[in-house]
Structure formats: structure tokens, C-alpha cells
A and B are shown apart, each in its own frame.
Chain A
Amino acid sequence: MAVNFVRPKIPKLASDPWAIQFDSEGRLRHLLTIEGLGPEWVTRILDTAENFMSVTDREVKKVPLLRGRTVVNLFFESSTRTRTTFELAAKRLSADVLNLNISTSAATKGESLLDTLRNIEAMQADMFVVRHDKSGAAHFIARHVAPHVSVLNAGDGRHAHPTQALLDVFTIRRIKGDFTPLRVAIVGDILHSRVARSQIHALNTLNTGEVRVIAPRTLLPADVEKLGVRVFHDMREGLRDVDVVIMLRLQRERMEGGLLPTEQEFFRLYGLTEEKLALARPDAIVMHPGPANRGVEIDSRVADGPQSVILQQVSNGIAVRMAVMALCMARRSEDNA
């Protein structure tokens, strides 16, 4: 005799893949990817982050916007920096924060992702900050959470890392202002990089003059130019006259996959040195999403040099994450009012 039990109906997919990021009244509910946000929302997030910058400078670094809300950091892939800045952002908004490192708990016991999710949902969570090593994981979770829950993508596979891209464009905007005359070069392992994909979308959403990617063919995904970038294989050519250089982290296991011969050759051809940086505009800034491999993709003298804004990126990251959390939760406050 079969046992019958009723499962919740799974919603069929909408025709617009990113419409899921907004609620029925067009308010931001989830942040899964930069795609579909459009310049209005990206600008609104950056403007809100600008307001939160002053909070960070105060002696009491707290505002009560998310008081009584619970934010759950759901990390299926280890991370220190991203998790910490999300945690700080939530705390500065007065939310309660729960950190769950799933790779070491349920997943190894064979509990499905959906079961893990339902259990945490039952603890009355209001927001999930999710990192997962599979592309589409945040989107999957957003499709299955209860209507009141918001999902923020803190990195899914090679797909997207939208808050990182937002903090990058936030940093660029604070220094450079207008995006339309800018040339931005993204250098290194584009193939495996969710950061690069989100940066490209964010830069193009803000109408950046030219977005370049610089990498050997093995580290570029197929048809990358269709994302709206100009492709360079020669770093010296690609850095010429750029206003912003974004270096990407190179994972050491790429050598074993046959994508690169050695770290030494990669550094010689694609590592950022003072000599190569001199080809960019004199006021060019150097960025890196961290953690940087010094001597692999970036020379220490550049990482610590006057043009580097790597540490500013980190502090800006808190304000940007506060902005995204506040905007996603705003609809709840409006509904309760």
C-alpha cells in the first residue's frame, strides 16, 4: 500500500527568468543576479549605499531598519570575507544573524538542500544570504522559499555574485563619477568567475564606455563577447588607456585541469606589475575582489601601491550589502505599515 502525502505545488517557471527578483508590485524581493535590475535599480542601490556610508563613520554604527528581523547566512561553500561583511551589514541594520556552514553539517548527512531550507524557514528567518558552489543555486532557493523570505545571492557557482559587482561599481562611481567615458579591463580567469560575469552586467547596465576582458583562450568562456565585452589576449594591448583594472583571483587547481602550464608563465603574461600598469591611464585604479594571490595574478607593489583601491572595496562592501538588505526588506515594512 502506497503512502500518500501532499507536497506543496512547485510553481512553473515564469517566461522572464529574472522577474522572480521582484514581487507582484515591482518591488525588489531577491537579489540573484544583476541581470534584469536595469539602471534604475542599480542606481537606487548605489544611492542607498551612499547614505549608509555615513552610518559606518559614526561612533554607534547601527540603524534600526531591520530590528526584529532574522538574517541567515547559508554558506554551502566556505568564505570568510563575504560572510563577514554580510554579517556586519546585517548587524549594523540591527538584524539578528545566524551563520550556518552547511558543508560541514546537513549536506554530508544526506539531507537535501530543500529540506535544509524548510527547516531554517521554520525558524522564522526573513532573509537568506546564500553561497553555493553550483550555478543556479540561489535561483533554485528563491523559487522554493516562503513568500515572506528574501534571498540574496552571495555567489553561486560560476554564475553570479551580484553584491560584489555592486560594491565594485560603487567604488568606481565614488572615484570616477560618470561611467560613460570609462574603459574598464577585467583580467584573468573569466571562465570560472561569477564575479566577472556580474561585473560585466553591472558595468554594461551603467553604460560603461568599454568593458574589456583580458585572458588566454583557455580562461575565456565560449561567446564571451556576447556579454558585451571586447576580448584581448595580450595584456599590454588590453591595458592601454584603461581607467580601471580589475584583477581576478586565479585558483591554483587550474594548472591541473590543463588550462595553464604554470603560475610563472601566467604571471609573466597576465600578472599585473607596475610596468604593465604604466600602460593604463595615469589615474587608473586597481581593484581585486580578494583574496589576492600575490605573485600569481598581482605583484605586491601594485596591490599595496597608490593606485590600489582594494581595501576601499572591502569597506564599501558593507554599505552596499546594507543597502541591498534594506531595499529587499523595505517591501515587508511597507506591507506591515
Chain B
Amino acid sequence: MSLPPNLGIDLDPVRHPEGCRPGLDCERWHIAGARVIDPAHGVDAIRDVFLDAGRIKAYDTPPEDFAHARRIDAHGRWLIPGVIDLWARLREPGAEHKATVASEAAAAVSAGITTLCLPPDTDPVLDTVAVARFVKRRAQLAGRARVLCIGALTQGLRGELLSEMAELAEGGCVALSNTHLPMKDLRLTRRALEYAATFGITVIVRPLDASLSRNGCAHEGPIATRLGLPPIPVSAETAPLAQLIALMEETGARVHVLGVSSAAAVRMIERARRDGLPLSASVSAHQLWLSEMDTDAFDPNCHLLPPLRSLRDRDALRQGLADGTLGTVFSDHQPHEEDAKLAPFPETEPGLSGLETLLPLTLKLAEDGVLPLNEAIARLTRGPAEALGLTDCGGLAVGQRADLALIDPDAAWSLDADTLISAGRNTPFHGWDFTGRVSHTWVSGRLVHGAAEPAAS
């Protein structure tokens, strides 16, 4: 049985975009002279791009009726498909004191992210279409980034009873996941994979064994030993991953392994993919830059789950990203209120505010020669679109959704935690220097970030 094509929840904000005055054509855009980098279609060239009615209309030759289109001179800039963030907590519903869909969607588009995937660990849990509709409405009201829902794999994420997967998928959920929370037993995991495979739904798995990671808050290694922090061994990730791969052999489910942290896990994924399993995998941006060393001063912003591991693990993650074993970089965004991090390290809540560093950290990988620029951009666009089976975004072909980010590649800036747009200021990257910054972002052809120049008359 197959469901209708997976487009996610369609977001078409009804209100007019900012900066649009009466009498001007808000729908049509002419982005002139940008270096268009579209890894999904192998494009890297200086082009003129024309947007109409939320879609990419044409390249280079203006279509008819574009005389009054709004024009942006984008010479010297890079135009990339809008970033798709595979896993970003928006804290709504349920933890609005930390952040809201509106606050995080604004932060997202300021950093070139046009699509946010919301994991199901909201309160109430995203295990019904009603919650998905609520989130969709909040996203529409915010009128910024598109928000796609990842439904719960089990009712209440309790790992005991399957969720209504088909209904969730029909209601717009692009994937299903039990987050890192445990399943009752392996039999239930197997059945969940089988049932999801019936409808061709991607299952997102975050491998973390509950007993091996119990009370843990740091990578088992020399730093945790010195600081006396309860450790989380690598086997907390690899043991459940090995079980998952064994189950995949029998179920044929499409699985995405989210946010691996260890060299051993990269090797296992590489082998499973070589064996032809329908497995994709991702890594969070901060895991490519930080290591256990950063935990050294009990920095609560480096209290993360999975924990920051050794430099050798970090290098293996970079290698896995470069060779394509890890196809996606995501933010693992977890905005917190200040109090959540104001406690002794083990008592703080894990997670960092990552939306505004996702693209900068990934561009920095290209700058440092870890992988070519177009590959780096692919990990943020084509990679997550393929992992979720989204065909409408992640690329810049004519007819695709006009989700775009325009980057000034020469802008040098340093990150100040106090000026983040996200409601969560919990970043370990305070004071880091970056080159390249998003100047404009379009979602469905509407300018949602950046100042529009006067329209051509």
C-alpha cells in the first residue's frame, strides 16, 4: 500500500510578506547574477533566477510579465537551496518558556534554514494529527520557515504501543521516530519497522541504550575520568545500532540514523550501506567541531546528548561526512531558558541552541577543506530531502519550491551568544569567527529574511 506523495505540511502564509507595499508585485522576484550552487542538480554557475507564485519559474531569460518583478542584485553572492534542518526542537507545544515556533522560525530563516523538522517529543507528544495541525497553524501564524512534523513511533513515546502511523503520515508527518527513548523490547521495534515499511514511511532512529547511558553526561574517556563525570560509553550508541541493522535486514524499512557520535558507528553504517540496506545517517554540526576536550571546564553548554566524544571520533565523523556515509548535517537544536543551564554540570539540561550555527559551521568545514563547498551544501539540502523522501525542496530546479538562501560569502563576523535570535542562548560557540553570512532568505517565494531593494519600475 502506498500513500499520496509526501509533501509534508504545506505552508502558505496568508499574510503579505514584510516590506511589501501596495502596488508592488510581491510574488515575482528576479535574483540577478548570483552564483547558484544546487548540488541536487550539479549546478554551480552564475545565473539569473526568476521566482513566481512560490516556485522557481525560470533561469537567465525573464519570463513574460516580469517587468515589474522585484529585483535583487546578487552579484558576488551565493544562492543555495534553503537549508532543511532534520531535527530541531521548537519547544511548542509544551515548553513555551524555552522557545516558541515563532521565535525559532525567525532564528531559522535568519540563518538560511527554510524547513524545520520538529521531533515528536513535544508536550503533548506529537502522536496525533491534532498536534501536527496545531504546529502547522503556529508555523503559518509565524509566517517564516516551513515546519514539518516527525510523528511519534509509539503512543506517547512510551515504547509500548504503535502509533497510528498511516494517519500521522496522511496528516502530514514526514517521518516517524521514538527519539532516543527506549522501546519496550526488540519485538516491538521490529514490528514498528515492519508497520512503517508497509506505508513506505521513513523511521528516524537515535541510537542510545537507556541502561548503558543511565545517569551519564559525558563521553567515557580521559576527560570524564578527570572531571568525575558519570560516563556514556560508545557502546551505548553502537549496541542498539547493531540491533537496528539486524532488524533492518528482515524488515526492509527505510531508516535514518540520526546524529551519530562515534567512529565505530560510522564504520557500522558504512558497512550496512555497502550491504545495500536502505539506511541513511546524519551528524549534528557541533559534533564536527567540538570534542570531549570542550567539556573540560564543566561548560554546561557542552552538556549534550549524545555527548561530545574524542578527537578521533570527531575526525571519523568528518571523514564519514566527506565520503557520503553521513549524508546530512543537522542542528539538533535545543533552545533552553537560562535557568536550565544554571546548575552543576550533571544537573543541567542537555542540548544547545544550534539553528544559527548550522550553516556557518558547515560552510566552515568547506573553508577548512574537509569537503568541497557544493558537497557541504548538499549535506544541508539534498541530503535531508533524500532522507525524508521530499521531492519539492532541497534543490533549485525549475518548478521546485522557491526556498532559497542568499549568502554573502565574504562577510566576516563573530558569534555573540547574547545577540542570537533564537530564544535559546545556550551556545558553546560564543566568540567563534565565521566567514559568510546569510543576507536573504525566501520561503515559498516570499522574502522572509533580509531587506528588499526597491522594485524595478
Chain A residues near B (Cβ < 8 Å): 7, 10, 12-14, 17, 35, 112-114, 132, 134-137, 139-140, 144, 156-160, 194, 197, 221-224, 226-227
In whole Å, how far is B57's beta carbon from the nearest beta carbon of chain A?
Answer: 42
Name the residue in B233, B297, B299 with the highest tally of chain A Cβ atoms < 10 Å from its Cβ: B297
Q: Which residues from B are CB-within-8-Å of A158?
A: 228-230
Q: What mask results when residues 225 to 243 of chain B are scored 1 for a CB within 8 Å of chain A, else 0?
A: 1111111010000000000
- In the complex, B10 has a CB within 8 A of chain A: no
A110 to chain B, nearest CB (A): 12
Which chain B residues border A221 with CB–CB below 8 Å? 224-225, 231
- The answer to whether B228 touches A135, judged by C-beta atoms less than 8 angstroms apart, is yes
Chain B 330-388 residues near chain A, CB threshold 8 A? 338-339, 342-347
**CA of A209 to CA of B127 in the docked complex: distance in angstroms?**
62
Q: Which one of B343, B344, B347 has the greatest number of beta carbons of chain A within 10 Å?
A: B344
Of all chain A residues, the one with the shortest Cβ separation from B347 is A134
The answer to whether B222 has its CB under 8 Å from any CB of chain A is yes
Residue B68, interface by CB 8 Å: no
In the bound complex, residues from chain B placing their C-beta under 8 Å from that of A156 are 228, 344
| Contact pattern, B 197-236, Cβ under 8 Å of A = 1, otherwise 0 | 0000000000000000000000011101111111101000
| Inter-subunit contact B338/A7 (CB<8 Å) | yes
* Interface presence of B22 (CB below 8 A): no
B298 lies within 8 A of chain A by Cβ: yes
Q: How far is the CA of A136 from the CA of B227 in the complex (A)?
A: 8
Q: Is the interface of B mostly helix, strand, loop or mixed?
A: loop
Q: How far is the CB of B285 from chain A (nearest CB, A)?
A: 20
- The complex places the Cα of A221 from the Cα of B228 at a distance, in Å, of 9
Bound-state CA distance A157–B224 (Å) is 12
B5 at the interface (CB under 8 A from A): no
Count A-B contacts at CB 8 Å.
86
Contact B342 A114 (CB under 8 A): yes
Query: 9 extra interchain contacts, Cβ-Cβ under 8 A, other than A112-B339, A136-B227, A136-B298?
Result: A134-B343, A140-B298, A157-B228, A157-B229, A159-B227, A160-B228, A221-B225, A222-B220, A222-B222
Known: A12-B431, A17-B298, A112-B343. A136 touches B224 (CB 8 A): no
- List 24 interface pairs A-B (beta carbons < 8 Å), by A numbering: A10-B338, A35-B226, A113-B343, A134-B345, A134-B347, A135-B344, A139-B297, A139-B298, A140-B298, A140-B345, A157-B228, A158-B230, A159-B229, A194-B228, A197-B226, A221-B224, A222-B220, A222-B221, A222-B224, A222-B231, A223-B221, A226-B222, A227-B222, A227-B225
Q: Are A134 and B221 in contact (CB under 8 A)?
A: no
Question: A113 contacts B221, CB within 8 Å?
Answer: no
- B299 contact set on A, CB distance < 8 A: 13
In the complex, whether B430 has a CB less than 8 A from a CB of chain A is yes
Chain A residues positioned under 8 Å from B430 (CB to CB): 12
Measured between alpha carbons, how far is A245 from B229 in the docked complex, in Å? 26
- How near does chain B come to A115, taking the closest CB pair, in angstroms? 10
Q: Known contacts A113-B343, A140-B343; decide if A224 and B297 are in contact (CB<8 Å).
A: no
For the complex, give the distance between the alpha carbons of A222 and B221 in Å: 5
B296 at interface, CB cutoff 8 A: yes
Instruction: Give chain B nearest CB distance to A66 CB in angstroms.
Output: 27
Residue-wise, chain B 397-437 has the 8 Å CB interface mask toward A (1 for contact) of 00000000000000000000100000000000011000000
Q: A112-B343, A134-B345 are in contact. Are A227 and B296 (CB under 8 A)?
A: no
CA distance A194 to B230 in the complex (A): 12
In the assembly, what is the distance between CA of A137 and CA of B347, in Å? Answer: 9
Output the nearest chain A residue to B345 by Cβ-Cβ distance: A136
Nearest residue, chain A, Cβ from B425: A10
Known contacts A140-B298, A222-B221, A223-B221; A112/B342 CB under 8 A: yes
Bound complex: CA A132 to CA B298 (Å): 15
Q: Which partner residue on chain B sits nearest A201 by CB separation?
A: B226
Within the assembled complex, what's the spacing in Å between the Cα atoms of A238 and B298? 33
Instruction: Point out the residues of chain B lying under 8 angstroms from A17, CB to CB.
Output: 296-298
- CB-nearest residue of chain A to B219: A222
Whether the pair B225, A135 counts as a contact (CB closer than 8 A) is no
Q: Which A residues lie within 8 Å of B229 (CB)?
A: 135-136, 157-159
Contacts of A114 in B (CB 8 A): 342-343
Taking CB atoms, residues of chain B closer than 8 Å to A134 are: 343-347
**In contact, A137 and B222 (Cβ under 8 angstroms):** no
State the CA gap A227–B430 with chains docked (Å): 30
Q: Please, which residues of chain A bring their CB within 8 A of the CB of B339?
A: 112
- What residues of B have a CB within 8 angstroms of the CB of A159 in the complex? 227-229
Q: Which of B225, B228, B346, B347 has the most CB of A within 10 A?
A: B228
Give the nearest-CB partner of B299 in chain A.
A13
**Which residues in A have their C-beta under 8 angstroms from that of B338?**
7, 10
Q: How far is the CA of A7 from the CA of B339 in the complex (A)?
A: 11
Residues on B with C-beta less than 8 A from A140 are: 298, 343-345
Shortest Cβ distance from residue A20 to the other chain B in the assembled complex, whole angstroms = 8
Chain A residues whose C-beta falls within 8 Å of the C-beta of B224 in the assembled complex: 221-222
Q: With CB as the reference atom, state the residue of chain A lying closest to B297.
A: A17
- The 3 lowest CB-CB distance pairs between A and B, nearest first, are A158-B228, A17-B297, A159-B228
In the bound complex, what is the Cα–Cα distance between A209 and B94 (angstroms)?
58
List the B side residues contacting A113 at CB < 8 Å: 342-344
Given the known A-B contacts A113-B343, A140-B343, are A135 and B227 also in contact in the complex, defined by CB atoms under 8 Å?
yes
> Which residues of the other chain, A, contact B227 by a CB distance below 8 angstroms?
135-136, 159
List chain A residues, Cβ under 8 A from B220: 222
Tell which of A136, A194, A226 touches B225, judged by Cβ atoms closer than 8 Å.
A226
Quote the shortest CB–CB distance from A335 to chain B (angstroms): 27
Alpha-carbon distance A224/B226, docked complex (angstroms): 8
Whether A136 lies near B222 (C-beta < 8 A) is no
Nearest-CB residue, chain B, relative to A16? B297
Q: In the assembled complex, which residues on chain A have CB atoms less than 8 Å from the CB atom of B346?
A: 134-136, 157
- Residues in A with CB closer than 8 Å to B231 are 221-222
Docked CA distance A202–B347 (Å): 28
CA distance A227 to B225 in the complex (A): 8
CB distance from B347 to the nearest CB of A (A): 6
Asked if A132 and B344 make an inter-chain contact with CB atoms under 8 angstroms apart, the answer reads yes
Contact of B226 among A12, A13, A227 (CB under 8 A): A227
Bound: A184/B303 CA distance, A: 35
**What distance in Å separates the Cβ of B231 from its nearest Cβ neighbour in chain A?**
6
Complex alpha-carbon distance, A7 and B338, angstroms: 10
Closest to A160 in B: B228
| Closest A residue, CB atoms, query B431 | A12
CA distance A136 to B302 in the complex (A): 13
Chain A residue numbers with a CB within 8 Å of B228 are 135, 156-160, 194, 197
CB-based nearest A residue for B229: A135
Name the residue of chain B whose CB is nearest to the CB of A18: B297
Chain B, residue nearest A138 (CB): B344
B1 to chain A, nearest CB (A): 46
In the bound complex, how far is the Cα of B310 from the Cα of A223, in angstroms? 12
A232 to chain B: closest CB distance in Å?
Answer: 17
* Minimum CB–CB distance for A92 against chain B, Å: 30
Given the complex of chains A and B, what is the CA–CA distance between A254 and B343 in angstroms? 27
Do A223 and B344 have beta carbons less than 8 Å apart? Answer: no
- Distance, CA A208 to CA B226, complexed state (A): 19
A14 CA to B298 CA in the complex, in Å? 11
